[in-house]
Amino acid sequence: MSMNESLSPLGKRRPSSPRIMPVTELTDELALIMGGGINAPDGTPLNIFGTIAHHPKLLKRFMNFAGLFLNKGLLPAREREIVILRVGWNCQSVYEFGQHTIIGQRVGLSMIEVEALTQDASQHPWSNRDVNLIAMSDELCADNCVSEATWKLLTSDWKQDELIELVMVAGTYRLVSGFLNTVGVELDADTPGWPK
């Protein structure tokens, strides 16, 4: 392991410092793109958006696409956050997990539930509906496909448009986790890391 790497809780190598620093000077275009509540508590853009801001066209489209899930999606926020947190854990993305620990608690997940998303699902008294979301997230991260058995269970709780969104949320946040890990996006101020 090099001096520029650290290990995640599951022993995965990750950059220990940013490979691409967030932009520090916002152009008028970037200020317009980032002008809607995507700032850290100190008012600076969140590091993820500051990093993607090196590519303004991509940032604009990413904000519209990923923002749909957080602001205008079909899924209940609690269930969406179970999927995102489990994907963040599976991908060993501390930034993703930390940001969505905050969001998850805001939408009704307890810290006990957040911590349980880092463990085998059988170690916590999840509802069957939650267990199915965790299984879906695990299977997509492991094999890029949800098994027939899990899919059948999901279809008993979710309509077709919701199923599409569930798979797209998991896939999108898997992509985001890979980006965050690869470029070494640092945690924002007041953002938690991994649970103890």
Which of 65, 58, 53 is closest to 28 using CA atoms? 53
What is residue 34's predicted lDDT score, i.e. its pLDDT? Answer: 84
Given a cut of 90, is residue 149 above it in pLDDT? Answer: yes
Domains of the chain: 5-71 (no CATH), 77-183 (1.20.1290.10)
The answer to whether 19 and 182 have CB atoms below 8 angstroms apart is yes
- 102: pLDDT strictly greater than 60: yes
First to last CA, the chain: 24
pLDDT, one tens digit per residue, over 112-127 is 999 999 999 999 999 9
Read off the amino acid at residue 58: L
Residue pointed to by tokens 């520029």: 4
How far apart are alpha carbons 103 and 100 in whole angstroms? 5
pLDDT band at 2 (very low <50, low <70, confident <90, very high): confident
Which residues, at least 6 apart from 15, have a Cβ–Cβ distance to it below 8 Å?
A: 4, 5, 6, 181, 182, 183, 184
pLDDT at residue 31, rounded to an integer: 86
Tokens of 67: 């923002």
Residue 194 pLDDT > 60, yes or no?
A: yes
List, as one string, the DSSP characters of the chain. --TTEEE-TTS-EEESS-SSPPPSS--HHHHHHTTTT-B-TTSSBPHHHHHHTTSHHHHHHHHHHHHHHHHT-SS-HHHHHHHHHHHHHHTT-HHHHHHHHHHHHHTT--HHHHHHTTS-GGGS---HHHHHHHHHHHHHHHHSS--HHHHHHHHTT--HHHHHHHHHHHHHHHHHHHHHHHHTPPPPTT---S--
pLDDT at 1: 66
**Backbone phi, psi, residue 15, to 5°:** -60, 140
- pTM for this one? 0.94
The confidence score (pLDDT) of residue 87 equals 98
Task: Give the confidence band of 45 by pLDDT, cuts at 50, 70, 90.
Answer: confident
pLDDT at 172: 98
Residue 43 scores a pLDDT above 80:
no
**pLDDT for the residue 25:** 85
Residue 37, pLDDT above cutoff 80: no
Tokens of 104: 């998850």
The mean pLDDT value of the chain amounts to 94
pLDDT score for 44: 78
Give the pLDDT score at 163.
Answer: 98
Q: How many angstroms separate the CA atoms of 91 and 97, rounded?
A: 9
